[in-house]
Structures are given as C-alpha cells and as structure tokens.
C-alpha cells in the first residue's frame, strides 16, 4: 500500500547564536532511535513552504516560529528517499525536494517534543550537530549556517 505524502518537504535548522558559540537544536527520531535531525516535514495540500515550516516547527517542538526569525535560505536539495520510508509516498515516487529554512532563537529554549515523532532533543555546538545528524543534506545545512553566521 502506498502513502500520500508529498515529495516536497522543509528542513528547518533551529539555532541560537550564544556568547559561547553557535548552538543547534537536534531531535531524535522515535521511529529510528539514534537518528538525529533538525525539524523536517512534508508540505500538506498546497500550503506555502513558509507555512509548512511554521507548522512543522510547532508540531515537532511546540515553538511558534512566527515569534522568532524564520528565514528561507533559498536552498533546495533533491535526494533519493530512503527505501524504508518510500511506503509513505505514492507508488513510484523515489525523489524528494527539500527546502531549507533557518529559525533563529534568542537562547537555547526548552521545547516539547512530539512523542509520536521524537524521543528526545539536544542543543549542541554546530560542529557536534553536523557530525550527529544522519542526513547529508542536514549536515550541509548546518555547515551553511556556520558559514553565514561567520563561525567557520
């Protein structure tokens, strides 16, 4: 049976530029313990990608992204969907296009993880976060963040 997920998604790198360095929020997937990532999620219907990012941040962290600085980084990643997740998409869909956003927070805020999606969260340095994420596009986005924030 095939799913109905759209092969269009957002990746939202949530970060705080602290006096001690650039910290990034990571979430541990409930369906794959040990897999860490930034906020991600597929577009629903024909919603604007900005709205997808706001919705996914709210669903996965409890934060209202519109109260902070949410920026479309104008980065697009096309990648092959991992075989073990293809059942979520219509038959024959093997590629997803991911749109990258950044969400700057004033500090490392406490969040509420969505228990069906995530087990835990951690704030860590951008360097540690880039090494911890399982997705190459997530790693690239975190490295891009460090570059645009002048941390490399």
Q: Which residues of the chain have pLDDT under 70?
A: 1
| Residue 87 near residue 1, CB atoms below 8 Å | yes
How many beta carbons lie within 10 A of that of residue 87, not counting itself? 12
Q: What's the pLDDT score for residue 1?
A: 57
Q: What's the pLDDT score for residue 74?
A: 97
Give the global pTM: 0.94
| Residue 71 near residue 105, CB atoms below 8 Å | no
Q: How many CA atoms lie within 13 A of 29 on its CB side?
A: 15
User: Which domains are present in the chain?
Assistant: 8-148 (3.90.79.10)
Q: What b-and-e string marks burial along 69-78, b requiring 16 or more CB atoms within 10 Å of the CB?
A: ebbebeeebe
Q: Which of 30, 42, 39 is nearest to 4 (CA)?
A: 42
């Amino acid at each position: 049976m095939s799913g109905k997920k759209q092969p269009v998604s957002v990746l939202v790198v949530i970060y705080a530029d602290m006096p001690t360095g650039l910290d990034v929020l990571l979430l541990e997937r409930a369906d794959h313990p040990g897999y860490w990532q930034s906020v991600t999620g597929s577009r629903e219907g024909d919603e604007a990608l900005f709205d997808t990012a706001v919705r996914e941040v709210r669903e996965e962290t409890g934060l209202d992204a519109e109260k902070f600085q949410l920026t479309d980084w104008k980065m697009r990643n096309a990648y092959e969907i991992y075989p073990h997740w293809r059942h979520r998409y219509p038959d024959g869909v093997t590629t997803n296009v991911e749109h990258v956003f950044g969400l700057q927070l004033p500090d490392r805020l406490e969040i509420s993880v969505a228990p069906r999606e995530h087990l835990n969260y951690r704030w860590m340095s951008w360097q540690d976060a880039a090494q911890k994420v399982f997705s190459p596009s997530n790693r690239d986005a975190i490295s891009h963040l460090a570059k645009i924030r002048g941390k490399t």
